[in-house]
Amino acid sequence: MCHALLSDSTLYEMLLEFDRDLAAQARAAGCSCGGVLHAADYPRKPRGGPEDLPDEYRFRLSLCCAQDGCRKRTTPPSMRFLGRRVYLAAVVVLATAMQGGITAKRAGRLHELVGVSLRTLKRWRAWWRAQFLDSSLWRSERGRFCPPVDVRALPASLLQRFCGEDERGRMIQALAFLGPLTTASAHKEAGS
């Protein structure tokens, strides 16, 4: 795991831009009733990122139909948040991608860097090995990886399957892949 990536402000700025693009696409598509979608962002208290995150990180981009009688909320996929977890998605992926497992020393270092506890790290690893594997995203997409992803080494083995120029590029591709898990219907299914 690259500790530098956890504190790389430019990565988090890029992820915010991607989220803005995803929200713009959802807004352009409109509501299923034909209504116009307006901003209906909701507050978040993200943990684990660099201290200089933009103020926009305190909000999850979301939309709401303007049509009377509908008012349906549309929350597009996110590359910053992984379901309802308070820690940023990049932190969840990188912290649990440690090769060789979670040792006391590694957990201590992660606690210093992003404030995550050993108990939380263990819960995340359990999620990767159970709920993630049971998700419709994984069931429908696992066949696209050749050779197959080693599920015992998730999420590190998943990160290795993406072809970014560097660790940052692979992380961005992995977060885009996980995007469908960031919506309300997906986190109900995946047991977030």
Amino acid 176: pLDDT: 95
Residue 139 burial (CB < 10 Å; 0-12/13-18/19+)? exposed
Predicted confidence at residue 2, as pLDDT, reads 60
- Type of residue at 169: G
Torsion of CA 167, 98, 54, 74, to 10 degrees: 90
| pLDDT at residue 186, as a whole number | 46
Over its C-alpha atoms, the chain yields an Rg (Å, rounded) of: 17
Asked if residue 170 lies in contact with residue 164, where contact means CB atoms within 8 angstroms, the answer is yes
37-39 sheet: strands from edge to edge: 37-39, 63-65, 73-74
- Report d(CA 164, CA 172) in Å as an integer: 8
Mean pLDDT by 10 residues, the chain (192 residues): 78 96 96 95 92 92 94 94 92 83 79 88 92 96 93 92 87 95 62 48
Q: What is the spatial distance between Cα 145 and Cα 93, in angstroms, rounded to a whole number?
A: 18
User: Which neighbouring-strand residues pair with 39?
Assistant: 63
One-letter amino acid at 36 equals V
| Helix, strand, coil share of the chain (percent; to 5) | 55, 10, 40
pLDDT of residue 8: 87
Separation between Cα atoms, residue 94 and residue 116, nearest integer Å: 12
